[in-house]
């Protein structure tokens, strides 16, 4: 345990030093890694821990992003204040979608969420909402500057802000999943009826898990929108939801650290594969997905755990 | 009234295509109780193969049949190589494999054929003989009905069809009477891929050929399969026509074309909530 804490502080120190060592563009990419990590943690709460498959989490990411963009653009709300709002809206939306989803299991839930993911861009383009959403053109939002005259540029500031939010979200997530709630969710995933018999309120836990998961993804969406400075319907298509799925499968299902590995994977692997062909990242994603399901179902996090365990017991 | 009739009939035509793809989904669901998310991309890929054949100078109908044959073999291969190892895995693993298939087929098609739109010819004459529907629309409906009839005859009257039904309904007993259940499942995948190829070749002249052309169509096919009952082939076809008409009429008169896909979303969630077995499906009871 002591070693783990030491490792986490080391990781934090590296994370704080990084933006001063690399270019602004790399800093921006690292910001996105953190954003994805939050979103993946959200999806992992739902799919990894409580076993409800979502193929439509891009929709909640979009909702969060649009919340932030609309609040900043139309109401002049400062960027940091949009995060709680986006989280709250997504929690409610997720909870409400989770209620009917209670009746759906496995494949059917996957189907319903898949439909949500496919339909989302069209909903965002809907012309009666254009007044707020900006229709196909989307919304451009300004980049926040560092406050109080801190000696960092805008990219670095946004990175540190995101790092702070990520830290808070991960600590909250860790507390949530390592305790009573996490155990209850895992019990529902592994045997719903047995969990019910032990006194777990299945319906409440499952729909709350949906809400919390959407909240995480929504906060990530809001941060992502601020980092990219732009939202448009077509950047939130079904493939975004699939990217998240790739992330949790590669990073490791039902694992908190897995969200980080997955985020690194979905941010940097496409960059490398892009040099071969425009279509190559997706082929690589697909092959990795199948490969991980066949060979390493616990993902990178599982492999790391295995390696550490082997080193400790020679 | 004229416009309304036109929309209904045009809806029937696209509905026929949804019906074919829904039929393919039902085929695989009946055999394996899985919903194949890659069905649309398999159809798309087959359509690209047909396009290649046509470009190589093969006349339409031979190319049509050849594509169906290739799709059939491809479907069997996919079942044998990719799906079989995860057959008894948790649902999540299976969904991930299907999604992986979806993106691989999509990106490989994009890689080989690029993402620019291509036009795909229709085998039916150009000039309109009938006021409300184009010849292609009538032809697409006709082909759907032919496929449905052929499937009905195959499953109802041939020994192989009987064996496939037996394997789907009760694998253990089927195995005991000497049916090779594994191969029957593969055959089911082959048939589904072939039907999907027909759907792809029928929809391509309408939506144009591009790697993402099947996204919306697949969603409507899901809705159609669910409306009809995911384990009922006849229901799927009826559901397909119903969804096609509903989509077109609602799109034209009520909610506008922009929200067409949401019709599918509402239908899917609505049916799953109100009547999960669809109109013609059997109600499943699970023993605890």
Average pLDDT of every residue of chain A: 85
Full-prediction pTM beyond 0.90?
no
Confidence of residue A115 (pLDDT cuts 50, 70, 90): confident
Which chain B residue is nearest to residue A100, measuring alpha carbons? B273
Which chain A residue is nearest to residue B220, measuring alpha carbons? A115
> Which pLDDT score is estimated for B119?
84
**Would you list which residues of chain A are within 8 Å, Cβ to Cβ, of chain B?**
47, 51, 53, 55, 100, 103-104, 106-108, 110-112, 114-116, 118-119, 122-123, 125-127, 193, 238-239, 242, 245, 249, 253, 277-283, 285-287, 289-290, 293-294, 297
- In the predicted structure, residue A127 carries a pLDDT above the cut 80: no
> Which pLDDT score is estimated for A146?
73
Q: What percent of chain A lies above the pLDDT cut of 90?
A: 19
Q: What is the pLDDT of residues B216-241, one digit of tens each?
A: 888 888 888 888 887 788 888 889 99
- In the predicted structure, residue A36 carries a pLDDT above the cut 90: yes
The answer to whether the beta carbons of residues B192 and B24 sit under 8 Å apart is yes
The Cα of A19 is separated from the nearest Cα of chain B by a number of Å equal to 34
Q: Within an 8 Å CB–CB cutoff, is residue B261 touching chain A?
A: yes
Q: Within an 8 Å CB–CB cutoff, is residue B97 touching chain A?
A: yes
Selecting from A100, A110, A280 the residue whose C-beta is nearest the C-beta of B95 gives: A110
The whole-number average pLDDT for the span B1-9 is 81
The whole-number average pLDDT for the span A295-302 is 85
CB atoms within 10 A of CB A312: 8
With respect to residue B99, please indicate whether it lies within any of the assigned structural domains.
Answer: yes
Query: By C-alpha distance, which of A176, A209, A194, A213 is closest to A63?
Result: A213
The answer to whether the beta carbons of residues A95 and A211 sit under 8 Å apart is yes
> Which pLDDT score is estimated for B205?
86
Q: How many domains does chain B have?
A: 1
The answer for residues whose C-beta is within 8 angstroms of residue B103's C-beta and 6 or more apart is A239, A242, A282, A283, A285, A286, A289
The answer for residues whose C-beta is within 8 angstroms of residue A258's C-beta and 6 or more apart is A40, A44, A48, A248, A251, A252, A299, A300, A301, A302
Query: By C-alpha distance, which of B97, B103, B71, B102 is closest to B84?
Result: B97
Q: Which chain A residues are within 8 Å of B260, Cβ to Cβ? A: 122
With respect to residue B80, please indicate whether it lies within any of the assigned structural domains.
Answer: yes
Q: Within an 8 Å CB–CB cutoff, is residue B86 touching chain A?
A: yes
The whole-number average pLDDT for the span A149-162 is 83
Distance CA A174, CA A179 (A): 8
Q: Which residue blocks in A102-231 are alpha helix, DSSP H?
A: 106-125, 130-133, 154-178, 180-190, 192-197, 202-228
The answer to whether the beta carbons of residues A114 and B37 sit under 8 Å apart is yes
At residue A207, what are phi and psi to the nearest 5 degrees?
-75, -30
Distance CA A42, CA A46 (A): 7
Q: What is the pLDDT of residues B102-151, one digit of tens each?
A: 989 988 888 888 888 888 888 887 776 666 778 888 888 888 888 888 88
Residue-number span of the structural domain to which B7 is assigned: 2-213
With respect to residue B266, please indicate whether it lies within any of the assigned structural domains.
Answer: no
With respect to residue B104, please indicate whether it lies within any of the assigned structural domains.
Answer: yes
Distance CA B163, CA B179 (A): 6
The answer to whether the beta carbons of residues A66 and A135 sit under 8 Å apart is no
Q: Within an 8 Å CB–CB cutoff, is residue B257 touching chain A?
A: no
With respect to residue B100, please indicate whether it lies within any of the assigned structural domains.
Answer: yes
The whole-number average pLDDT for the span A123-131 is 77
Model ipTM value = 0.84
Q: Which chain B residues are within 8 Å of A289, Cβ to Cβ? A: 96-97, 99-100, 103
Q: What is the pLDDT of residues A220-270, one digit of tens each?
A: 999 999 988 888 888 888 888 988 988 998 888 888 888 889 999 888 888
């Amino acid at each position: 345990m002591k070693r783990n804490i030491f490792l986490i502080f080391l990781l934090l120190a590296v994370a704080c030093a990084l933006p001063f060592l690399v270019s602004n563009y790399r800093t921006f990419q690292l910001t996105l890694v953190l954003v994805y990590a939050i979103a993946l943690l959200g999806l992992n709460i739902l799919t990894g821990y409580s076993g409800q498959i979502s193929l439509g989490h891009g929709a909640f990411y979009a909702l969060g992003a649009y919340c932030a963009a609309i609040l900043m653009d139309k109401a002049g709300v400062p960027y940091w204040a949009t995060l709680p709002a986006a989280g709250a809206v997504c929690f409610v939306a997720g909870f409400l979608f989770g209620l009917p989803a209670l009746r759906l299991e496995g494949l059917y839930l996957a189907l319903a969420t898949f439909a949500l993911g496919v339909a989302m861009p069209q909903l965002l383009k809907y012309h009666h909402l254009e007044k707020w959403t900006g229709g196909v053109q989307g919304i451009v939002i300004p980049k926040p500057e560092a406050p109080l005259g801190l000696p960092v540029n805008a990219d670095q500031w946004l990175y540190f802000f995101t790092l702070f939010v990520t830290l808070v979200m991960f600590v909250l997530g860790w507390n949530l999943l390592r305790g009573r709630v996490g155990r209850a969710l895992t019990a529902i995933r592994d045997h719903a009826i047995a969990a019910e018999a032990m006194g777990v309120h299945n319906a409440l836990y499952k729909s709350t898990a949906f809400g919390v998961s959407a909240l995480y993804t929504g906060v990530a969406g809001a941060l992502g929108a601020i980092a990219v400075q732009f939202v448009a319907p077509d950047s939130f298509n079904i493939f975004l939801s699939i990217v998240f799925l790739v992330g949790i499968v590669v990073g490791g299902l039902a694992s908190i650290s897995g969200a980080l590995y997955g985020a690194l994977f979905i941010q940097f692997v496409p960059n490398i594969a892009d040099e071969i062909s425009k279509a190559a990242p997706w082929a690589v994603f697909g092959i990795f997905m199948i490969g991980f399901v066949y060979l390493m179902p616990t993902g990178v996090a599982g492999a790391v755990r295995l390696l550490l365990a082997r080193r400790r017991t020679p | 009234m004229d416009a309304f009739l036109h929309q209904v009939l045009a809806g029937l035509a696209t509905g026929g295509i949804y019906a074919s793809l829904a039929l393919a989904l039902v085929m695989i669901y009946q055999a394996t109780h899985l919903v194949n998310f890659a069905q649309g991309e398999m159809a798309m890929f087959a359509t690209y193969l047909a396009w290649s054949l046509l470009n190589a100078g093969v006349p339409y109908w031979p190319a049509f049949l050849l594509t169906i044959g290739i799709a059939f073999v491809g479907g069997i291969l996919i079942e044998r190589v990719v799906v079989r190892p995860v057959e008894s895995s948790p649902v999540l693993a299976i969904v991930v494999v299907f999604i992986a298939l979806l993106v691989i087929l999509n990106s490989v098609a994009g890689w080989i054929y690029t993402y620019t739109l291509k036009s795909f010819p229709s085998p039916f004459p150009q000039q309109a003989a009938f006021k409300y529907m184009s010849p292609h629309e009538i032809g697409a409906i006709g082909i759907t009905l032919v496929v449905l009839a052929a499937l009905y005859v195959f499953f109802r009257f041939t020994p192989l069809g009987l064996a496939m039904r037996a394997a789907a309904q009760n694998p253990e007993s089927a195995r005991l009477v000497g049916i090779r259940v594994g191969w029957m499942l593969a055959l089911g995948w082959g048939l589904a891929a072939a039907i999907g190829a027909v759907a792809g070749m029928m929809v391509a002249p309408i939506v144009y050929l591009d790697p993402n052309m099947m996204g919306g169509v697949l969603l409507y096919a899901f809705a159609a399969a669910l409306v009809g009952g995911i384990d009922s082939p006849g229901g799927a076809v009826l559901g397909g026509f119903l969804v096609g008409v509903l989509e077109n009429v609602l799109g034209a008169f009520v909610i506008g074309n922009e929200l067409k896909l949401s019709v599918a979303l509402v239908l899917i969630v609505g049916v799953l909530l109100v009547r999960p077995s669809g109109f013609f499906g059997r109600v499943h009871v699970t023993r605890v």
